[in-house]
Chains A and B, each alone.
Chain A
Amino acid sequence: LAKTTQPISMDSYEGQEVNITCSHNNIATNDYITWYQQFPSQGPRFIIQGYKTKVTNEVASLFIPADRKSSTLSLPRVSLSDTAVYYCLVGAPMNRDDKIIFGKGTRLHILP
């Protein structure tokens, strides 16, 4: 089971681009990389998922290098409402021996 490592916390300012990097050195061939966002008193919310190269949606971009041993979640022009905990998950969703495991996440604090 691939383990992930991400910074415990990060601070940034409104309007800045924020990049959160996640290390997953033991990622397996069938594993996808998924990021979730969690606000206080709410369950986690899916942000983005990728397998390789770059994925972009209306919320964020996900950059995955060729070796797939890390990934970077990029949030463009953050606002105060982006203050949340961000979780990086690695796993093969259809492999039921592979639990969907959340780590401690990265607490992102956006300052005015």
Chain B
Amino acid sequence: GAGVSQSPRYKVAKRGQDVALRCDPISGHVSLFWYQQALGQGPEFLTYFQNEAQLDKSGLPSDRFFAERPEGSVSTLKIQRTQQEDSAVYLCASSDGTVNEKLFFGSGTQLSVL
């Protein structure tokens, strides 16, 4: 596709449920990022992939959060045993990894945990 695609656009989960959020980056982009954005705040870094390698996962808030990109293209962010504090917009971005790196963002998945 022409841009970064995220699905679902909205997700409502009951506390304790597991959720999986999908990101389809721009074709050929080697770098992929996940961010979490709370209402009224800037995006907070979660994790970064270069191709299939997860090079930085220091922003993942707990071991309930897990991300993968097994073939270096589509990525999935999984949250286990969701809590109310996980409610946020989850943004995915990709880039071509060049020196003047520009991030291209998807529209995000809005997660509401009840």
Bound Cα distance from A101 to B102, whole angstroms: 13
B contact set with A: CB distance below 8 Å: 4, 33, 35, 41-45, 48, 50, 55-56, 58-59, 91-93, 95, 97-108
- Please give the distance in Å from B33's CB to the nearest CB on chain A: 7
Would A104 and B42 count as touching, CB distance under 8 A?
yes
* B42 lies within 8 A of A102 (CB): yes
Chain A interface residue number, banded: 20 to 34
Are A99's CB and B42's CB within 8 A? no
3 smallest CB-CB distances across A and B, nearest first, come from A43-B105, A93-B101, A102-B42
A22 to B92, CA, bound (A): 25
Expressed in whole angstroms, the Cα–Cα distance for A36 and B55 within the complex equals 24
CB distance from B4 to the nearest CB of A (A): 7
Shortest CB-to-CB span from A17 to chain B, Å, is: 25
CB < 8 Å neighbour of A45 from B56, B58, B105: B105
Q: In the complex, which residue of chain B has the Cβ closest to the Cβ of A51?
A: B100
A49–B35 Cα distance when bound, in Å, is: 21
Contact with A99, one of B4, B48, B92, B99 (Cβ below 8 angstroms)? B48
Contacts A94-B101, A96-B56 given; does A43 touch B106 at CB 8 Å: yes
Which residues of the partner chain A approach B95 to less than 8 Å between Cβ atoms?
93
In angstroms, how far is the closest chain A Cβ from the Cβ of B84? Answer: 21
Q: Does A87 contact B (CB under 8 A)?
A: yes
Tell whether, in the assembled complex, residue A43 and residue B100 are in contact, meaning their CB atoms are under 8 Å apart: no
Residue of A nearest to B106 (CB): A43
Q: What is the distance, in angstroms, from A44's C-beta to the closest C-beta of chain B?
A: 5
Interface contact A99-B102, CB-CB below 8 Å: no
